Amino acid sequence: MVTGESIHTPVQAGGDASASRTVLFDFDGVLFQGDAFELFIRHRYGSPIHKVLAAMTMPWWLLCGVFSRRLAERALTHIALCGLGAQGYQAAVEAFADQLVRRPRQFYRDGLIALRRHLADGDDVIIVTGCERTLVTRLLSQLGLPELSIVASQLRPGLFGMRVHVHNVGRRKVQNLAAKGVQSWRVAYTDSFQDLPMLKQAGEAVLVNGTPKLCKRVERALGSAVTRVAWY
């Protein structure tokens, strides 16, 4: 289904998911314009200390990049988090979130309206995101949405600082939802092909600001039409 409306609350779809009041929202690219955690890591590299650390460890993360871009990105993330324990990380990320939430046009207004409409309708809204949990929790709290259920990526304390513990992307989103007892959902909003496992189990799959190429690719993979929305 294609809609020209910028704000869309899907109708109840058929199948097992139609019995569920659960609605899933991705965060980055759906509610937030950009990648919130990447912005935090870039902010950390504003420090001369972390620039020096990145330069000193360049052979390591360049080697990681030979095998996988994701490995290189994780290495650079760990360098940016060097020296931060759990309490220090929470303080740093919450201070950053408090600044970020005040930036103009950083969030999709239409997405937040749609989310609040689902809440008003009595739906059980869950944020399912690759963004780090503390950061996304603080951002949503600052937007007046402190009670939302969140399934997100997580860090853990390491020898030299916080490290990636769970990267909540792709199939892992569905696995982590299942671990919380969530087996079906009526609607899923995303902007990414990586969320195909989440879309496959949705009564209605919604692509936010998807290009025609992406929409066709997702529809071929699903074997059914998706709802397309343009949010600003």
Q: Does residue 172 contact residue 196 with C-beta atoms inside 8 Å?
A: no
What pairing do the DSSP bridges indicate for beta strands 124-132 and 149-157? parallel
User: How does pLDDT run across 127-144, given as a tens digit for each residue?
Assistant: 999 999 999 999 999 999
User: How does pLDDT run across 144-178, given as a tens digit for each residue?
Assistant: 999 999 999 999 999 999 999 999 999 999 999 99
Per DSSP, 16 falls in state G
Q: What is the pTM of this model?
A: 0.89
DSSP assignments along 14-32, one per residue: SSGGGG--EEEE-SBTTTB
Is the pLDDT confidence value at 201 over 70?
yes
